[in-house]
Amino acid sequence: MLYVLYGPDSFSRTEKLTQIKIELDSDGSLSSGTAVFDARQATPQEVVAACETLPFLSPHRLVIVEDPALGAFNLRTAAFAAIVLFICRPVILLLVLSRFRLPWQDKVFAAWHGPRGLGSILLALIVVISGASGGDQIFAVTGIVVLASVILHGILGTPLVAWSSRAPAAVLVPEPENEEVARITALHLAGMIAKGEPVLVADVRQPGALDRDPRRIPTAVHYPPDEAAARIAENPPKGPIVLYCA
């Protein structure tokens, strides 16, 4: 019996093929009698020879000739790409960025651009290499989503840069009103720690200096100098901040 499944709706074609397999696979042995050909590479002689081959360990012989890329772009794929690009990825990245003190324009800009999708293509390629059913279609759909992402980001990149550049500069740690930074003696700091006052003691030495002399003030937390401001701003203390680098 010959079935011809065609049309732009790849989902319906896949469902129909699955239904045919279920009807033929009465004892679970159809996989041993199934041959799948890529329509772009298979020759008529190969397909005919496969059809004439007697089934092995199965009462039926199933020969499938398909084009993995046929109908990869359809309404379902377009809807999937739109959901990923306009809803899923921006929402997830906005949630991640919500804990940072950044202007909302910068958060929207970063959430919209996000990762370009190279990781997604590599993961889809693993599915293809593994020989999993539908791997070629998964790879094609992933490629369409990534291509749409690159095109949209390329078109909207310049306008969004101009828009986000008008956002006020982020203030991670408020600057003091005067240029002089208050100093504190070691004896005064020791007294504050002994009384249990809510003081944050930050060791801002370079990692190399810390390795050479790992001793530090009790309760002190080490922050690399170039990360100290941002790290402290993530969880601002209730009391004073004391920095030391020696």
The 10s digit of each residue's pLDDT in 84-95 is 888 888 898 889
Q: Cβ of 196: how many Cβ atoms within 10 Å?
A: 7
Say what the pLDDT of residue 38 is.
Answer: 77
Are 160 and 90 in a shared domain? yes
Asked if 31 and 60 sit in the same domain, the reply is yes
Task: Give the span between the Cα atoms of 144 and 79, in whole angstroms.
Answer: 11
Number of domains in the chain: 3
pLDDT score of 14 more than 80:
no
Residue 88, in any domain of the structure: yes
Helices 104-113, 89-97: axis angle to 10 degrees equals 140
Q: Is 4 a member of any domain? A: no
Nearest-angstrom CA–CA distance, 193 and 195: 5
Q: In terms of domains, do 102 and 150 share one?
A: yes
Please tell me whether residues 104 and 58 are part of one structural domain: no
Q: What is the pLDDT of residues 37-77, one digit of tens each?
A: 877 777 878 888 888 888 777 788 888 887 665 555 567 77
**What span, in angstroms and rounded, lies between the C-alpha atoms of 170 and 165?**
11
Q: Tell whether 27 and 96 lie within a shared domain.
A: no
CATH of residue 237's domain is 3.40.250.10
CA distance 99 to 154: 28
Q: Are 82 and 32 in a shared domain? A: no
In this structure, the answer to whether residues 59 and 109 fall within a common structural domain is no
**Percent of the chain scoring above 90 in pLDDT:** 0
What is the residue range of 25's domain? 10-66
Residues 102 and 57 in one domain: no
Q: Are residues 239 and 199 in the same domain?
A: yes
